[in-house]
Structure 1
Amino acid sequence: MQRNTLKPLVGALALAGLIPLTAAAQAPRPEQIERVEVIGSRIKRINIDDETATPITLITRDEIQRSGVATTRDLLETLPGFNSNSLSDLNGGNSFGNGGSGASLRNLGKQSTLVLLNSRRIAAYPLADYNEVFSNLDSLPVDAIERVEVLKSGGSALYGSDAVAGVINIVTRSSFQGLTVSANTQKSLKSHQFKDQAAAITGGIGNLATDGFNILANLDYYHRGDFFWRDVLQYSNPAYKEFSPGFDTPSSYSYPGNIIGQGPIAGCKLFNASNTLCMYDRYDRFSVQPSADRVSGIVSAKLKMSEHLQGFSEVLYSNTKNTYQNAHNYYGAGLGSVVWGDPNSNAARTFYYRGLPAQHPLNHTGEEVEFRYRFSDDGQSNHVQTDQYRVLAGLKGDWNGWDWETAAGVMGGKTTQRQRGLFSDSGFKEVIGDYNKDTLDADFFNKPNGYKIGQPNSAAVLDKLFPSIGYDAKVTQSFVDGKISGEYGRLPGGAINFAAGFELRHESMKIAPDALSASGDIVGLGTVRADAGRSFSAVFVEADLPVTQQLNAQLAGRLDKFPGFAAHFSPKLALRAQLVPEFMLRGSVEGGFRAPNLTESATSSKSAFDNGVSDPKRCDAASALIRDLIAQANALPDSDPNKTLLQARADNIDECRRGVASVVRNNPGLKPETSRIVNLGLAFQPFKSFSTTLDYYAVTRTNEIGTKGTADLLGAEAQQAPGTIVRAPDFNNDPTFVTAAEVAKYKPLAGRLSLVSGQFENLAKTQTSGIDWSMNGQFSDPLGRLALSFDSTYLLSYKQYSTSDLRYGDNLAGRWGYARFNFKLRASQEWGSWTHTLSYFWASSTTLTKDYYDTTWNVEDCAKNKNLTADQCKVATYNRLDYNLAWRPMKALTLSANLRNLTGRRPPIDYRNFGQGGIIPDNREDVMGRMLRLAAEYRFF
């Protein structure tokens, strides 16, 4: 029967509280089966396993338990579409986003993948990774997860900004009754390292139907220990040593130091007679993985207030601590110089490594001499602690066939990061000396109350030289949302389902470096600063239209309004054609967008540095000078001291490989990134126990927010605004062309380059396409029940736009970092109280080359310059087999053992990532070997 056209309006007024719910309530709904909302639609449905018009991957509770993982990030890494370029707290110590883990799908970055918890957003991680704002997966406890829903297409039409590459919805347990405890522990069977432990307790009381309430609480603890490469280096691939002679060798930058040409300083504990230098085992301090301690808790409650009204609330809290350690700071003239940007003055600063002055008591050469040293007392460490939370409460109910829900909440987080081990420029000059002078002061490295080489130093001196620095970061967000859904009218195929809703949000972010970092006093340190807030809102609508019994359409649209640009509309059209019961075709086209975040558009700044910059106005002139210097050196006999000086000068000229300071500002005029996402696919279920899906996707993202590369800016220097490129005003005191005669002869076109300053812009675009293929089957056999699953993705194309050449580059599929094909194959056999699960992971090989501009790491370059074979000049195929055994000796107890990498196979070597002269394996899996995780779960009642 056709519904009254006023009913949606009445429902909306009831939702807003303008009409009393008691007055709006009608007779109970005839549909008594509970409907649930699944990612990809705001319309609730009964069966979450039904194939929809857009491809969705579900990871169930059983799959989570059989995967042998301890963290949410580990779980998502088992997805074929999950990219290695997403941030992990394992390597976060070398990023601006210390201590956090993000998610990236479709190679489009962690800002284009939206992470939801129970279909609502979570607050961003307080520290931005430079300009990337992301959700921290480490704040979500894996033991509390009921299922994970992954929407493989964009979702901006329903979920708003950031849902370009896909949406990951993590759904926690609900309506749980009883008490369950679980624990697990892991270590490598090869090295007995890579240890971690986790424990959780989950309890719930009350039955919503009979008691009128349910309260669920989960507490989760995770610990990961740290260790160093010396503990496991003996298990590394011998090929590393064959490629890099420096692999597994000590360093001459040691304690108490070496005076080059004179010998080691007295007191050296590690002496290598073969080269007469004091040596240091840096692998004793190269960390394989940081330590981590995480405590997470979720409390949710439901209260049945009437037959048509229910209250609910949810509290999430997590505390994460990470400690990163690395080799102690080292010092020596052979290290050249360090260039970084002063975030206040937009000027470049340069630190020069100098030797010991002629007057130093340890120097017996009579002139400034090279000195190599290791500051073993620098207190090197990096501690990151983050507290994150989300608190919400709401009401939901039904009115005459319409479901409605509204909620309000606050969320946020605070990160405190403190590290030591980096030089303070002012502190270095105070306790060691001024390195800028042509002739060093006699007390350089020998001040009366300064730093003493190879001797105990006071805490006051060390605090000046290596101060505690870091960030205090905070994010907050408050929201109110509401939605309503139900049937409205009919079409030949059945009832029309309709949903509509709104969101109101306010967010703020403050990232504050300490005073010394903010002033540019810390040598070589890049910084991020932000202090801004904004309010934004959205409305969305969705309609599920059964055009015929065989054809279903989904229409959706969302209007988002952020400050700084006009309201943005994201549309979606999806079709689902069930031609026969066993076969379905589907397709969708939708628009996506990402609003500029607060570090890009609002008050903020970033300072960093670029290495290996070639200055087009000085490189050719410097190259000619280098050739002449080498020719002059070659003409001299080896006994002539000027020969060494000429060669050293030629080696130190860096105009074609210079380190340049970089300062980037926010841009309030930024537009949102936009995208168009197309999906075409089919689902085939020839019989009840087996189904397969095949889906093609294509994403075009435009208006990508970024900064112009230094090479692009220098290539069009005349067109840049004043202050974008900062150079020395003349050739006075020029370190490369040291005389007026050299300036006249070689004709450099400009003074020394010191800093490049820019701002975020809408610059680039990306195109990517591929095919997702999955199969699922469940079969009965003489031993019990066998379940098979196959999930894969094949990258057809990935192209990035060049802002300098104004064209798309090469197809990167199959090149470095972009594997064409990867899949996960899983077989699970249930036999009485035993369950056996095999999981096989595979990724295709890639070349080592990048885009069209990359002339290195091809087969010719590998053979000519790197002594690598054609097989070594690629990242070989990756494959890994895992085995999980679960046993239920009684109904309440489950014991399991998970063997990761059953065959003990090494991962392939990535020689490009390892680098020429590399000293650390490029992949920690190389020394893992087989990993054993033991777990137990007991349900008391």
Structure 2
Amino acid sequence: MKLRMKSMPLAILQVVASGALTMAVSQPAFAQQKEEVVPQRVVITGSLISRADKETASPVQVLTAEDIAKSGYTSVAEVLSNLSANGQGALGSGFSGAFANGGAGVSLRGLTVGLTLVLIDGHRMAPYPLSDDAQRQFVDVSAIPFDAIDHIEVLKDGASSVYGSDAIAGVINIILKKSFNGTSIKTDAGTSQHGGGTTYKAAITHGFGDLATDGYNVFGSLEMRHAEAIKLSDRDNQIWANGDWSSRGGMNLTRGVPNAQNSRLIATSSPFFYNPAGTGGVNNPANFQFLDPSCNYNKYMAGGCAIRDTVSFLQPETKNVNALVGFTKNLGDDWKLAVKASVFQRESENNRGVPATFSPSSFTGNTSLVPGANPKIVNVYGSTVFPASYPLNTLGAPARLYGYIPGLDPSSTQKNKATSSRLVADLNGNWNGWDIGAALGYTRVKTDIDYSGYVNRAALYQAMTRASNPFSPLGGNSAADLAAVSPHFNNQATDTLTFADVHGVHEVMELAGGTMNFAAGLSYTHKNLNAPSADLLAQGVVGNGAAYVFGKETNTAAYAQLSAPVLKNLELEASARYDHYDTYGHSFTPKAGFKYKPMDMLSLRGTYSRGFRAPNAAENGIAGSFFSFHAINDPILCKDGNPKTAGNVPAACNFAPAFVQQTTKDLSPEKSKSYTFGAIFEPTRNFSTTFDYYRIEVNNQINTAAGLPGFVPTYVRNAIFPVDIADGKGGTYSANPSVGTIAYGSSGYVNSGGTTTSGIELDFLYKQKLGDLGNIKADLTFNHMISYVLSSNGIDYELAGTHGPSVISGDTGNPKNRAQLTLGWDKGPLAVTTTFNWVGSFSALDPSVDVTECKDVASVSGRAYFYGKDTPAGYCHVPSFMSTDLNVTYKIGKNWMIKGSILNLFDRKPPIDVATYGNSNNLTAYNATLHQAGAVGRFFSLGANYSF
């Protein structure tokens, strides 16, 4: 197999690899010069049994606090987003339209955030109440404190035999500080070269007491971080953030610019009346009446009345306040109690920058989504055409009103405050030859959301048509009118998880290679998700109903593990777990692994495991949501897909219909089989490399039926009201269509098909002391996806290196290759670290939604860049992208350290991706999950640490 890493700094890699191999060949004595040090036994993620050798049968990547600090980032979400194993289905903060707005999640092996388990100190945390795609539960890593972390372990293997549900693709275990002595104060400040994103962070940690001498330790940590928003207007001079596609074979989508998609009728800088029955239609200036002299017909048609988007976010404003208190006490007789209490709070403001406009011809109503009731279309107002007698209408005929509603917030906005609370006690000791570990914990995540910018359409048109002092489209309306037309409202959702766990490890017998150990344990977990939608949304008063979920789940489990060093060079492992859920029944998940060391410098390892994901409350509880994904043509109102065909409704062509997601009670869990096989090569103490092959087969997956190939939806249609219909001559006329436009379709969840992914991962580490020249270190992680097959309805779709499956999460794309290379040099007090984060190129096609030709690529996203035209071939491929981060630290004495960072050092721009919908809005065309560093641009920061 031939791997190509386009745009990766191959020269650097070749130099590093050449130097490492030279050292391996020319200095073999290093392997014999290791000092005799008694290794410390530690517990590695994925195991219950402590070990001296940190290289286990399963591949584990460890990020130390030093590694994290040298990245130059200031949030955990930013650090984890660049993992080479993080792939398709990851969730970033740049997707403001996500169901789980404000949250960030990791998707190991590209199998979505729902199949990656995130632990804190080895224990479960309550999931974020707002699920990804209103389905997949995940832990929001954006709310985890940065400076309280001791290290992060990334287990790149299935681990359901130890942890149970969700650990199919792997486990992220975030280990917080266990103890601290003294005081540490850290500050950071940074800003983007191109505007926006200015970030301030400060943290203080203080602790006292020594476990060895005092028998206790107490510490506390407080961290505050504020990052300003990066607005679209900060970057709209860039081609990837500019809505004008007219020079690229498409349309000008800038707000307020008439084009073919909007039939040359669109809200602009001045409200205007339009007579749809007038001779000549939009080509006749006499049919227009602009209410503000700043715009006129000629200026409007030339695009001169456009409105610059100054409110959309490429990156939302965020505020974090995190507090952590830890207490550890030696109880005597080898028993120790550790208690940690924490409150992590993250605030963010999310919008899609779409200002509220008048409904020009008719308002067909909203769809309510009330728990326990069938969806129904409510608040239908009907025709909103203003008669000739309307005071402001001087056209002498009934006219439509186009414009933005004055006085309202500039877009529909959700201010999200997520508070994660956690109290966990760990008790460890020895009893009768057993090493005992017991834990008890309560965790809760609460989201408080304030809504603004939403419109009560019925109240608006009642106010506009009342006889006395009607609501004016030019502004100057009363506060009472504005409150009635656009009420502010809020909502709260909570997700709690309580757990109790006890396990013990016992030495069984001596084998040729060492001591056989046996571990066994019991666990109890209870979840309670209470996530209603805001009442005004649920009732359809100010928009279509929002997602809601209610459900409880109790899980009890028993598990065991055996570690047997049967020979000096062969270690065997086996583990198994039995889970019982009160929602569906039980699951049994075994795992086996080996590590074989045929020679000192070489080890072989492999695992086989089964895993599962239990259906959650969003899938089998009381839940409902709206969603939409790729574009379709209305099978009745736009049969041939051509918006210019006589009789077609242009707005019904190439649009993304809404679906109402419904739950299914009798779902079975998703199940998996995982295989890994790898080698560890350590010719010297300075050089090591690991090579691992993985294959994961997930079956019985829980999918929305609408996302499956071959699904034929049943659409619920609005009442029939006048719409624009194509006249076959390039124009339109207003008339009643044969049927109402599509309001929504319904879709349940089904266990169907599966996903099989395989790949290889390389981890390369080289360290060398150069005497007076200092020390160097090179660390490369590289992931190559060999295959990603989605099986559905008896058809296999190969999606590795494509944009599929686009229906998942934020339509992130599925590149085959990702890599991260870190080069470090230090001498005395000075340390310089350069990190290269590289994402390979991939196709914009998605065969799973029948997009197999370049001309249809834009339909994957449902965006109208090339409305009515074929997508140019140049956009069929998303180029590779690499950001380079530079971090420099300098120690001043024993107390001070100063640092400076430049992220995206070479100011690389994000490649254009017309197939993704996971970004800010229709005006942008970049991949916010994979290429957000390019959208931010070059970012400078300075910081200082003081410890005493």
Normalising by structure 2, we get a TM-score of: 0.83
User: Alignment partner of 1:596: what SS?
Assistant: coil
Q: Which amino acid aligns with 1:810?
A: E
Is 1:832 matched up with 2:828? yes
Cα 1:366–1:297 change in 2 (3 A) is same
Q: CA deviation at 1:239?
A: 8.6
Is 1:362 matched up with 2:392? yes
> Which residue number in structure 2 is paired with residue 87 of structure 1?
91
Is 1:505 matched up with 2:525? yes
Q: Indicate which of 802, 808, 818 corresponds to 2:792.
A: 802
Is 1:793 matched up with 2:783? yes
> Which residue number in structure 1 is paired with residue 942 of structure 2?
934
Q: CA deviation at 1:790?
A: 0.5
Cα 1:375–1:32 change in 2 (3 A) is same
Is 1:258 matched up with 2:242? no
> Which residue number in structure 2 is paired with residue 703 of structure 1?
700
Q: Which amino acid aligns with 2:659?
A: S
Q: CA deviation at 1:933?
A: 1.5
Q: Aligned ranges for residues 605-620 of structure 1 at < 5 Å?
A: 605-608=624-627, 612-614=631-633, 618=636
> Which residue number in structure 1 is paired with residue 9 of structure 2?
none
Is 1:35 matched up with 2:41? yes
Q: Deviations over 1:145-182 (max 9, x none)?
A: 11110000111111111111110000112222110000
User: Alignment partner of 2:915: what SS?
Assistant: helix
Q: Indicate which of 78, 82, 86 corresponds to 1:78.
A: 82
Q: Which amino acid aligns with 1:793?
A: N
User: Alignment partner of 1:772: what SS?
Assistant: strand
Q: CA deviation at 1:328?
A: 2.1
> Which residue number in structure 2 is paired with residue 466 of structure 1?
486
Distance 1:796 1:487 in 2: 41
> Which residue number in structure 1 is paired with residue 729 of structure 2?
none
Distance 2:783 2:628 in 1: 36
User: Alignment partner of 2:56: what SS?
Assistant: coil
> Which residue number in structure 1 is paired with residue 211 of structure 2?
208
Q: Indicate which of 535, 538, 550 corresponds to 1:515.
A: 535
Distance 2:190 2:720 in 1: 62
Q: CA deviation at 1:733?
A: 8.4
For the 8 Å contact 1:419–1:469, the answer to whether it is kept is yes
User: Alignment partner of 2:847: what SS?
Assistant: coil
Q: CA deviation at 1:60?
A: 1.0
> Which residue number in structure 2 is paired with residue 233 of structure 1?
236
Distance 1:772 1:624 in 2: 44
Distance 1:696 1:614 in 2: 42
Distance 2:913 2:195 in 1: 25
Computing the radius of gyration over CA atoms, which structure comes out larger, 1 or 2?
1
Is 1:45 matched up with 2:41? no
User: Alignment partner of 2:184: what SS?
Assistant: strand
Q: CA deviation at 1:839?
A: 1.1
Q: Deviations over 1:853-912 (max 9, x none)?
A: 534652798999868765543111212222111111212111111111222222222133
Q: CA deviation at 1:339?
A: 6.5
Q: Deviations over 1:761-795 (max 9, x none)?
A: 21231111110011001101141111110101001
Q: CA deviation at 1:183?
A: 0.8
Q: Which amino acid aligns with 2:472?
A: K
Q: Could you tell which deviates more after superposition, 322-331 or 452-461?
A: 322-331
Q: Deviations over 1:619-660 (max 9, x none)?
A: 68x559999x73xxxxxxxxxxxxxxxxxx534473x65765
Q: Deviations over 1:267-322 (max 9, x none)?
A: 45577963378835232222232211110111111111113211111101112111
Q: Indicate which of 147, 169, 172 corresponds to 2:176.
A: 172
Distance 1:209 1:146 in 2: 20
Is 1:123 matched up with 2:126? yes
> Which residue number in structure 1 is paired with residue 861 of structure 2?
none
> Which residue number in structure 1 is paired with residue 27 of structure 2?
none
How many residue pairs match? The answer is 851
Q: Which amino acid aligns with 1:835?
A: A
User: Alignment partner of 1:99: what SS?
Assistant: coil
> Which residue number in structure 2 is paired with residue 902 of structure 1?
905
Q: Deviations over 1:31-54 (max 9, x none)?
A: 99863321121111245xx31100
Q: Which amino acid aligns with 1:454?
A: L
Q: Aligned ranges for residues 550-569 of structure 1 at < 5 Å?
A: 550-569=569-588
Cα 1:611–1:686 change in 2 (3 A) is closer
Cα 1:802–1:582 change in 2 (3 A) is same
Q: Which amino acid aligns with 2:522?
A: F
Q: Indicate which of 137, 141, 156 corresponds to 1:137.
A: 141
Q: Which amino acid aligns with 2:842?
A: T
Q: Indicate which of 301, 312, 331 corresponds to 2:358.
A: 331
Distance 1:413 1:687 in 2: 47
Distance 2:165 2:156 in 1: 16
For the 8 Å contact 1:526–1:608, the answer to whether it is kept is no
Q: Which amino acid aligns with 1:362?
A: L
User: Alignment partner of 1:599: what SS?
Assistant: helix
Q: Which amino acid aligns with 2:797?
A: G
Q: CA deviation at 1:240?
A: 7.0
Q: Which amino acid aligns with 1:195?
A: T
Is 1:596 matched up with 2:599? no
Q: Which amino acid aligns with 1:789?
A: D
> Which residue number in structure 2 is paired with residue 24 of structure 1?
none
Distance 1:320 1:835 in 2: 32
> Which residue number in structure 2 is paired with residue 741 of structure 1?
none
Q: Aligned ranges for residues 335-346 of structure 1 at < 5 Å?
A: 340=367, 342-343=369-370, 344-346=373-375
> Which residue number in structure 2 is paired with residue 757 of structure 1?
746
For the 8 Å contact 1:497–1:543, the answer to whether it is kept is yes
> Which residue number in structure 1 is paired with residue 447 of structure 2?
415
Cα 1:353–1:167 change in 2 (3 A) is farther
> Which residue number in structure 2 is paired with residue 12 of structure 1?
none
Q: Could you tell which deviates more after superposition, 62-71 or 366-375?
A: 366-375
For the 8 Å contact 1:339–1:351, the answer to whether it is kept is no
Q: Which amino acid aligns with 2:65?
A: R
Is 1:397 matched up with 2:429? yes
Q: CA deviation at 1:96?
A: 2.1
User: Alignment partner of 1:374: what SS?
Assistant: coil
Distance 1:496 1:256 in 2: 80
User: Alignment partner of 1:362: what SS?
Assistant: coil
For the 8 Å contact 1:153–1:165, the answer to whether it is kept is yes
Gapped regions of structure 1 (runs ≥ 5): 1-30, 433-442, 631-648, 718-723, 739-747
Distance 1:404 1:491 in 2: 23
User: Alignment partner of 2:916: what SS?
Assistant: helix
User: Alignment partner of 1:283: what SS?
Assistant: coil
Higher relative contact order (CA 8 A, sep 6+): 2
Q: Deviations over 1:69-117 (max 9, x none)?
A: 11010111221111363223332x3122222222211111111110001
For the 8 Å contact 1:526–1:609, the answer to whether it is kept is no
> Which residue number in structure 1 is paired with residue 499 of structure 2?
479
Distance 1:298 1:540 in 2: 31
Provide the aligned C-alpha RMSD in A: 3.4
Distance 1:624 1:182 in 2: 59
Cα 1:913–1:352 change in 2 (3 A) is farther
Q: Indicate which of 776, 793, 810 corresponds to 2:765.
A: 776
For the 8 Å contact 2:553–2:583, the answer to whether it is kept is no
Cα 1:209–1:836 change in 2 (3 A) is same
Cα 1:221–1:607 change in 2 (3 A) is same
Distance 2:651 2:547 in 1: 31
Q: Could you tell which deviates more after superposition, 752-761 or 50-59?
A: 752-761
For the 8 Å contact 2:406–2:473, the answer to whether it is kept is no
Q: Deviations over 1:402-449 (max 9, x none)?
A: 3112121211121111212222244235324xxxxxxxxxx3xx5535
For the 8 Å contact 1:385–1:417, the answer to whether it is kept is yes
Q: CA deviation at 1:337?
A: 6.7
> Which residue number in structure 2 is paired with residue 544 of structure 1?
563
